[in-house]
Amino acid sequence: MGEEWRLTVELDGEPEQMVSLVAELSERLPEGARLTRDAATIRVYSFDEAEAARIESVALGLLQRTGLGYELWHDRWDDDETDWEEIAPDLPPGEEPPELPELERAEADADEEPAASDVAAVAEDATEEMAGGFPGAVTSIPEAGALVLLRFADRDAGSELRARLAEAGIPLVSRRRGFGVPAADEAAAAELAEILRAQVPPGTSVEAAAVPGRRA
């Protein structure tokens, strides 16, 4: 048996929305994964690191379509300590989590393909925005040599920054009451941490650290 991973999601919102979320997430779980719910807390257990990352991707895709507040993080079972250790999973090199299909798409968008020059221009603009706004950050978690870990005073305090990072194409790793921003190396993480400290609300912890769970 491989490692045991546990994704925990603490929800805040209408009970009916929670029930609907649990039903949709259960339908999309890979074979062998197990979901439990205790009031507003959902836990999903799996036995593979990449699978844990994919489950997180599916959960986040569903959560973003609801009005629910949430905290989301991973634990991995430590046999030596006989306890759960909070950790962020890394995707295998070259592998990205699957995206959920969009529920609604305008017919005109489906029929019209953008010109290659337009695609190139959008990609260039996105790269410039990322480099200018979050220097040192990388757009692939497997390429990260370090993380900037942010822990917020409450579940909603980091929502605006999370949205801006997502718009810049920067993936995040989930941590309890916060998230980690991938950086190229320790020096880049230190620089990025200073920039992020100026953008977060009072009471936020900002710390540069090695990538949790990174294998040599």
CA angle 3, 180, 172 (to 5 degrees): 85
Position 96 in a domain: no
pTM score over 0.75: no
Q: Counting every residue, how long is the chain?
A: 216
124 and 206 belong to one structural domain = yes
Domain extent, residue 156, equals 116-210
**Contact by Cβ (8 Å): 61, 99:** yes
Q: One digit per residue, pLDDT tens: the chain, 216 residues? A: 468 999 999 998 899 999 999 999 999 998 889 999 999 999 999 988 888 888 988 888 888 788 788 888 888 888 888 888 887 776 554 555 555 554 444 334 545 555 544 544 444 444 444 444 788 898 877 788 888 989 898 777 888 888 888 888 888 877 777 888 889 899 999 999 999 999 999 899 999 987 654 443
Supply the CATH number for residue 163's domain: 3.30.70.260
